[in-house]
Amino acid sequence: MSAEISFFHLFLEASILVQFVMLTLLTFSVVCWAMIFQRRKVLRTAGADLQAFEDKFWSGADLSKLYSETCAKPQVQGIESLFIAGFKEFARLRKSHIDNPQIIVDGTHRAMRVALSREVDSLEKHLPFMATVGSISPYIGLFGTVWGIMNSFIAIGAVKQATLQMVAPGIAEALIATAMGLFAAIPAVMAYNRFSHKVEKLENSYGNFMDEFSSILQRQSAAEQSTK
C-alpha cells in the first residue's frame, strides 16, 4: 500500500474530532500558502517601485513635474504615496502664506508620516495571520494527537490482549495530526520572519526618504523666504 493511500485510509479511520483537527490544519496551510505568494508579489513590487522612484527623484527632475506625473498614474502606492502626500501639503502650506520654513517642513513631515503609517499597514497585511498559524498549529496538531492516542488506549483497555497490529493504526492516526500541525506551522513562521524583515527594510527606506525630502523642502522654502 502506498504512503498516499495509507494516509487517506488513516484519515478516514480517525475519529471525528481528529478528522476536524486535520481539516482545520489543512485549511490553515492552504490559506497561508496563498497569502505567502500574494505577500511575496506585493513586497517585490514595493521594492522595485522604491528603486525606480528614487532613481527618478534623485536624477534632478523638477519636483512639480514629478508630482504631476506621479498623480497621473492610475494607482499610486508605496514611496510615491509619501511623495504625493508631502508635496501636496507643502504646496498647500505655501499657498497659506506661512513665512516660517520650519512650520512648513513640520507640516509636510506629519503628512508623510500619516501616509507612511498607511503604507506599512498595507505591507503588513496577512502577516499577523501567518504568525498566528505558526504559533497555534503545532498545539492544534498536538491536541489531535493526544485525543487520538487517548482513544487508542481506551480501545486497548477494552480488550484482554493488545497486539501491535491493534495499537499501531490508532497511534499512526494520532501522529498524523502532529505532522500536519508542523507542516502548517513551519512555512508560516519562515514566511512571517522573512516578510517582516522585508517590511522593516522598506519602512527604513521610506523613513530615510522622508527625512531627505523634508530637508530638500526646507532648503527650498528657506531660499524662497530669503529672496523676499
Mean pLDDT for the chain? 84
Q: Please, is 11 exposed, middle or buried when counting C-beta atoms within 10 Å of its C-beta (0-12, 13-18, 19+)?
A: middle
Long-range contacts of 211-219 (CB under 8 A, 24+ apart): 213/82, 213/83, 213/86, 213/112, 214/86, 214/105, 214/108, 214/109, 214/112, 216/63, 217/86, 217/87, 217/90, 217/104, 217/105, 217/108, 218/101, 218/102, 218/104, 218/105
- 10 occurs within a structural domain: no
State yes or no: pLDDT of 15 exceeds 80.
no
**CA angle at 196 for the pair 201 and 140, rounded to the nearest 5°:** 175
- 134 occurs within a structural domain: yes
- 142 occurs within a structural domain: yes
How many separate domains does the chain show?
A: 1
3-state secondary structure (DSSP) of residue 186: helix
Q: How confident is the model at residue 162 (pLDDT cuts 50, 70, 90)?
A: low
- 159 occurs within a structural domain: yes
- 210 occurs within a structural domain: yes
pTM: 0.81
Which residue range is the domain that position 29 belongs to? 20-226
Q: How confident is the model at residue 3 (pLDDT cuts 50, 70, 90)?
A: very low
Residues composing the chain:
228
Q: What are the grid coordinates assigned to 111, written together? A: 503628512
At 30-56, the pLDDT tens digits run 999 999 999 999 999 999 999 999 988
**CA angle at 169 for the pair 177 and 28, rounded to the nearest 5°:** 15
Q: What are the grid coordinates assigned to 30, written together? A: 492552504
- 15 occurs within a structural domain: no
Question: What is the average pLDDT across 160-165?
Answer: 63
- 97 occurs within a structural domain: yes
pLDDT (0 to 100) of residue 61:
76
Q: Note whether 40 and 196 are within 8 A (CB).
A: no
State yes or no: pLDDT of 224 exceeds 70.
no
- 5 occurs within a structural domain: no
At 180-202, the pLDDT tens digits run 899 999 999 999 999 999 999 99
Question: What is the average pLDDT across 164-191?
Answer: 82
